[in-house]
Amino acid sequence: MQGISAAMIVRNEADRLGRCLKSLANVVDEVVVLDTGSSDDSRSVAAAAGARCFDYAWRDDFAAARNAALARAAHDWVLVIDADERVRNREEARRALRNFPDRHDAAIMGTVEIVSPTAPGKDASIVVDHTLRFFHKGMVHYEGCIHEQPVHASGHGRAAPTGVILDHSGYALPHDKARQKARRNVTYLERELEKYPEDEYYLFQLGKAWQTLERHGDAVDAFRRGLAAIRFSTGAPPTGRLGPVGRSVLTGLVVNLAYALVNTGRVKDAARLLEEQAALGHEGTRRADFEHVRGYVYLMLGDLERSRAAYEASMRHGAAGEDVRGTGTHASAYHLGLIDEATPDLTGAYNHYLMALSFKPDYRLALARCVDLVAEQGVMLPPEVAAAGDPRALEAVYRERLEHYLHEGKMDAVSRLAHGVSTVPMLLKACRDVLHGFT
């Protein structure tokens, strides 16, 4: 049985490092921590957890640091992990990593599933990536001073899933810290693009950094350049600077460019982009995320028929076809409910909101529309909503709406909200509490 190393680079990660290292206990045989200049207790936290710690002089180059960490690993097979990540499925991960070298030769690199909230709070979007993180260290090295990528010695290493799941908190930053990180990334990426001006991956990451900084025009430019750098030809995979372009990058470029165009008021341009990409039929378009953004763009244009068709297509992909959670499940079901409301078809709307809640019981957008329909239309809240929705989330949304209408002096809406939940004891009690407190 092969020994397994975990390799990580850290700097001032004392507050998160302990949780990461705890999640690695009994999953790997050793942990290598390369400290690139911490001024906090990162090194002592690592040492206390039994990690092998090394100092490294930072060179403004993430790939160089990754390669230095790999060189210090005692075992041939290495899991690369960051301090803001934790192994979720520890027992399964232990078995999966130990079995991988027996099932695959050194030409195969292993992917892990990385689950990342994009902002603080439970209502944040969740991004799911499948990233190359496990491999034979003698066959792989990293390239790129930022958003570094593992490169196989053969030049075209193949991939297979390991089954490891990592929870990642690095995107869930407060607004100011997210912007600070994005500004740093722009500096590094523009430096790399001076050397490789047609690298589609760096352009993709640059566009995302500009989006974080809300410079949507610059994001459009970066994403457009990234797409223009890819060669699309019939019968061959789309090809970038270093070879075939990964599916997630293809989808990400198209989807993020569409949203960036919408954010700059160019909704028709977004629609044309999506139609052109759909006609190409490449792998990046065969995802729930692609159909979901098509539904959104057509909805913005008022084309309800095409919007409905796109959202229904995204739901046929389902959860397995999502990069951002909800695009093939609860978020698309919710938007189908909005289209039903516009038709108008309140029964259909409630059915789609219930469908959204079946995927995500605490989905506040769907819960809010269910409550708002009571206030706006004077209908009774279907008991199925209370059964399907998370009780705490539903009560919180109901209280917020009731308090809002009370403060606005919209007593007709207050009356409808009070009457419309008379068959839901939990909400009826909440109604009495709010009314009593208001008086």
Write out pLDDT tens, residues 92-147: 999 999 999 999 999 999 999 999 998 887 778 899 999 999 999 999 999 999 99
Q: What is the pLDDT of residues 250-272, one digit of tens each?
A: 999 999 999 999 999 999 999 99
* Closest CA relative to residue 131, chosen from 19, 252, 36, 227: 252
Compute the average pLDDT of residues 190-212: 96
CB 163 within 8 A of CB 96: yes
pLDDT of 120 reads 80
pTM, full prediction: 0.91
Tokens 């809002």 locate to: 404
pLDDT of 330 reads 98
Tokens 């109604």 locate to: 431
Phi, psi angles (nearest 5°) of residue 272: -65, -40
**DSSP reduced 3-state for 384:** helix
The angle at the Cα of 286, spanning 282 to 287, to the nearest 5 degrees, equals: 135
Does the pLDDT of residue 235 top 90, yes or no? no
pLDDT of 124 reads 81
Cα–Cα distance measured from residue 79 to residue 127, given in angstroms and rounded to the nearest whole number? 21
Q: What is the pLDDT of residues 348-370, one digit of tens each?
A: 999 999 999 999 999 999 999 99
Does the pLDDT of residue 387 top 90, yes or no? yes
Tokens 């690592």 locate to: 46
- Residue type, position 272, single letter: R
CA dist list (Å): 22 to 44, 94, 98, 109, 233 = 14, 13, 19, 25, 47
Cα–Cα distance measured from residue 13 to residue 94, given in angstroms and rounded to the nearest whole number? 24
Does the pLDDT of residue 200 top 90, yes or no? yes
Extents of the domains making up the chain: 4-172
Does the pLDDT of residue 328 top 80, yes or no? yes
* DSSP letters for 82-108: -TTEEESSHHHHHHHHHHHHHHS-TTE
pLDDT of 236 reads 86
Long-range contacts of 202-205 (CB under 8 A, 24+ apart): 202/144, 202/147, 203/229, 204/249, 204/252, 204/253, 204/256, 205/146, 205/147
**DSSP reduced 3-state for 143:** strand
**DSSP reduced 3-state for 188:** helix
pLDDT of 243 reads 86
pLDDT of 437 reads 87
Burial of residue 236 (number of CB atoms within 10 Å: 0-12, 13-18, 19+)? exposed
- Residue type, position 2, single letter: Q
pLDDT of 173 reads 86
Helices (H), 72-167: 90-103
CATH (one of 3.30.420.40, 1.10.1030.10, 3.90.550.10, 3.30.70.20) for 4-172: 3.90.550.10
- Cα 97 to chain centroid distance, Å, stands at 24
pLDDT of 1 reads 61
| Edge-to-edge strand list for the sheet holding 231-233 | 231-233, 236-240, 243-244
Compute the average pLDDT of residues 179-195: 95
Cα–Cα distance measured from residue 96 to residue 78, given in angstroms and rounded to the nearest whole number? 13
CA dist list (Å): 107 to 3, 28, 158, 410 = 18, 21, 7, 67
Q: DSSP label at 381?
A: P
* Closest CA relative to residue 397, chosen from 371, 361, 424: 371
CB 259 within 8 A of CB 293: yes
